[in-house]
Structure 1
Amino acid sequence: MKYMLLVLLLCAIRITQASEHYIILESPNFELVQDTFFSQSVDFTSLPENKVMSLTYWGNNPKVEIIYNGDNLFVSQKGNSFERVYLQFGEKIKTISFNIQTNPAIYTEEYIQLHKGTVSVETPEVYELNNIILALADKFHQANYRMYAQGEYYADVLTWFSTFKDHEIFMRLNDVDYYSFVENAVAYEFNGDQIQQSSVYKGFRVTDNVKGNISVLEDFAKKSDFKTFYKQHHSYYSTLSNTFQSGARPKDIWHWLEANFPGRPEFR
C-alpha cells in the first residue's frame, strides 16, 4: 500500500497500467457513464470500499467513462475481462472493479448465410431446464421475478418435478442471479446427457451461474428425466413460438427499425 501511495503522489493525475487504473480526485464527486447512455453521480464518501460493476455486451464492447477533475477515463474490454480503478480522495483509497463481457457470440460465415434474414423463436433445452428449476424454487418465481405460475403447463411442471425439490441444485440458489442463471443457459446445450458450451454463443450476462453448476444440472436433468418431459411438451413450445410470431410480429418490428433508424450507434 505504501508503494501504491508513492506512485500516486509522484505521477500525474491518472496512471493507466494494463487492467488497472489510478485516479486522484480533487473533490469527492465524479460521474459514472455506462455505454454513453446511463449516467450517475457518485459521491466518494458514500462509495463502498470495493464497488463491483458488471458490463454486458449489447452489440458493442461495453464501456464505462469516469468523469472527474475536468478529465475522463474510459474503461473497456481491450482484451481484459476484468479491470479495476483505484480512486484516491485525501488519504483514502477505494476501488471500482469491472467484470467485462466480451462478444457473446461467434457467427461463422456458414451460420450467417443459414440464418440471414430469419427470425426464430425457440425454447432451448437448458434454458427451459433452468426456468423450471427456478419455478420450483418458490422465492424466485413468486417474490422476485414474477414468473408465470398458472395454466396447464405450470401444473405439469409441478406434477413432474416437485418430488425432486430436495436435489442439491436447490441448495445452490441462494446467491444465484436470476438473469445469469437463465439467460446464460441459452449459451449451453445438451449433448446426450451432458451439458456443454454452445459452439455459437458464449453467454448473455457477465456472471455465468451455469458454468459452475453444470454437473449438478446434469444430475438433476437425468434423475428427473427432464429430457422426456421436454420432448412430451414440444408441441406446447411450438405453440408459444407461433403465438409470439403472429402476435408480436418480430420481423415487421425488425424491418420498421431498419427503415426508421438506419444509423448505427458509435461507442467511444
Structure 2
Amino acid sequence: MKNYFLYLLFLILSISVNSQELKKVNFDSKFRKENQGKSKTVIHEVKELLHIMIAITELGLGNDDMVNQDSEYYKDLIKHFEPYKNEPIILKYDSLIKANPVNYIFLTGNAISYNFKGNKLVKDKNYLFPAQSVSSHTKITENLITKYKKDIEDFANKSKFRKFYKNSTKYYSKIIDDFDTQANIQQQWNWLENNFETKVNNYVIMTSPLIGGLNYTTNYDDNNFNQIFLVIPTISEDKKLSETEKIINNTRPIFTEIDHNYTVVLATKYEAELNEALKIRDTWVNTKQYGTEFYPNAKRVFDEYMTWSLYVIYISDIFKNDQKAFNYVYNDVNEAMTKRGFPKTKEFTDKLIELRKKNPKKNIEELYPELIEWCKTQ
C-alpha cells in the first residue's frame, strides 16, 4: 500500500483547473485585498479533524507513509481518539480510501470548504469546492465533506475534537513559527519573482503534524487573483544538523514545489527546443530507476533538473560567501537527484552556476536559451 501512496503523490502533482469543473474558489474583493502579496501557514481546524479521522481508520493506523506517526502529538491523539475508531463515519472513510486512495485528497482537500461555528460546520465563503480532481481521469462532482457533514459534526462532538484542537494551540503555533524561521516562504517568493516574469498574488502553506509522505502543490485562480496552495508536512528537526543545514533541509521541499510555478512556464515556452535538446533520453534519465517514468518527456525532465539546480542557486544567494552552506546544498542536491535517476544533475547545476556568474545582471529566465543550447551538446 505504501508504494501505491507514493504513486499517488505523482498523480497529485497533476492537479489542475479544468473549465468544466464546478467553481472551486471565490476570491472576492475583500479576500483579494486582505491577501495580496502575503503568505501564511495554517493548521486548519476542519482539515485537522479530517486528518485525525483518517489517522484512526484501519488503513491509517497501519500506514506511516500516509499518516505521520512519529510524534508525541500522534500518541496523544491516538489515546484520545482511538476509542472512536469503530464509529460508522470512520469505517466509511476507511472503506472509501481503501477503495480509491485519492479519496484521501478529496476528504482532506475539501475540508477547507467548511469552518466550525459552535458545534456546526458552516460553508466557507472563499473555498467552495477546492478539490475536485486528481489527474485528468479521477474527478468527483460532490463535495465529500458536504455529503457527510452531519456525520462529521456528530463525530467531532462525540469525541470532543474542538477541545483537543484548542488544547493543541500552543503546539500548532510552534509549528507555524518553525515555518517562518526555518523556511521563510516570503523570502523564497521574493527571490523567484526577481528572477522570473511570472507573478503570484498569494501563498498558503496548509500543514498538519499528521501529513506523511503525501504532499502537493496546486493553484487557484479567480477574479485575476492567483493563489499558490501548498499542502506539506511540518518542519523536520534533526539535532545532528547545524542551524544553517536545518534551514537548507526544510526550505528544499517548499522551494522545489513552488518554483515549478515559475519554471514550468519557461519549459512550456521552449518545449520544441527542449524536445530537440533532450531527445536522447538515456543521456538525461536512468530509465531503470523507479519513478523516472513519471517524467515521460523532455519538458518534464528539463523542468525537474531546473527545479533542483535552481535551489542550489537560491541557497548560494541567501547564504552569500558561506562555502559550507553551498557545499552542503550542492552535494545534497546532486546525491538526491542522481539517486532518483537524473544522472546529469552535477553537470546541469555547474552549467547554470557558470551562466549566472557570466551574466550577473540577467535574471534566471534570461539564461534559458543558452542553457538549452548547452543541453543540445550533451
TM-score by length of 1: 0.60
Could you tell me which residue of structure 1 aligns to residue 124 of structure 2?
Answer: 198
Map 1:191-230 → 2, pairs under 5 A: 191-206=117-132, 207=140, 208-230=143-165
User: d(CA) in 1 for partners of 2:189 and 2:24?
Assistant: 21
Moved segments of 4+, more than 4 Å? 264-267
The structure with the largest helix share of the pair is 2
SS in 2 for 1:121: strand
CA contact (8 A) 1:188 1:197 kept: yes
SS in 1 for 2:96: coil
CA-to-partner distance for each residue in 1:118-153, whole Å, 9 max, x for gaps? 211111111000000111114136438432102211
Could you tell me which residue of structure 2 aligns to residue 46 of structure 1?
Answer: none
Larger deviation, residues 258-267 vs 201-210 = 258-267
Could you tell me which residue of structure 2 aligns to residue 240 of structure 1?
Answer: 175
Name the CA shift for 1:121/1:204 in 2 (closer, same or farther; >3 Å).
same
Larger deviation, residues 194-203 vs 213-222 = 194-203
Q: Output the amino acid matched with 2:149.
A: I
Superposition RMSD in Å: 2.6
Structure 1 residue 102: deviation in Å? 4.1
User: d(CA) in 1 for partners of 2:165 and 2:37?
Assistant: 28
Could you tell me which residue of structure 1 aligns to residue 42 of structure 2?
Answer: 122
Structure 1 residue 214: deviation in Å? 0.7
The structure with the largest strand share of the pair is 1
User: d(CA) in 2 for partners of 1:146 and 1:108?
Assistant: 34
Identity of aligned residues (%): 24
TM-score by length of 2: 0.43
Structure 1 residue 185: deviation in Å? 0.6
Could you tell me which residue of structure 1 aligns to residue 3 of structure 2?
Answer: none
User: d(CA) in 1 for partners of 2:160 and 2:175?
Assistant: 22
User: d(CA) in 1 for partners of 2:63 and 2:190?
Assistant: 37
1:109 aligns with 2:29: yes
User: d(CA) in 1 for partners of 2:147 and 2:119?
Assistant: 17
User: d(CA) in 2 for partners of 1:145 and 1:168?
Assistant: 24
User: d(CA) in 1 for partners of 2:113 and 2:30?
Assistant: 19
Q: Output the amino acid matched with 1:229.
A: F
User: d(CA) in 2 for partners of 1:183 and 1:190?
Assistant: 16
CA-to-partner distance for each residue in 1:26-82, whole Å, 9 max, x for gaps? xxxxxxxxxxxxxxxxxxxxxxxxxxx99x874xx42xxxxxxxxxxxxxx2xx4xx
Larger deviation, residues 166-175 vs 211-220 = 166-175
| Structure 2: stretches of 5+ with no match in the other structure | 1-10, 98-102, 133-139, 200-264, 269-378
User: Which one of the candidate residues 68, 71, 79 is aligned to 1:159?
Assistant: 79
1:175 aligns with 2:101: no
Larger Rg: 1
User: Which one of the candidate residues 241, 245, 257 is aligned to 2:192?
Assistant: 257
1:137 aligns with 2:70: no
CA contact (8 A) 1:132 1:157 kept: yes
| Structure 1: stretches of 5+ with no match in the other structure | 1-52, 63-76, 81-100
Could you tell me which residue of structure 1 aligns to residue 276 of structure 2?
Answer: none
User: d(CA) in 2 for partners of 1:102 and 1:236?
Assistant: 36
Q: How many residues align?
A: 177
Structure 1 residue 190: deviation in Å? 0.8
User: d(CA) in 1 for partners of 2:76 and 2:27?
Assistant: 36
Name the CA shift for 1:203/1:253 in 2 (closer, same or farther; >3 Å).
farther
Structure 1 residue 103: deviation in Å? 4.5
Higher relative contact order by CA 8 Å / sep ≥ 6: 1 or 2?
2
CA contact (8 A) 2:110 2:145 kept: yes
CA contact (8 A) 1:57 1:104 kept: no
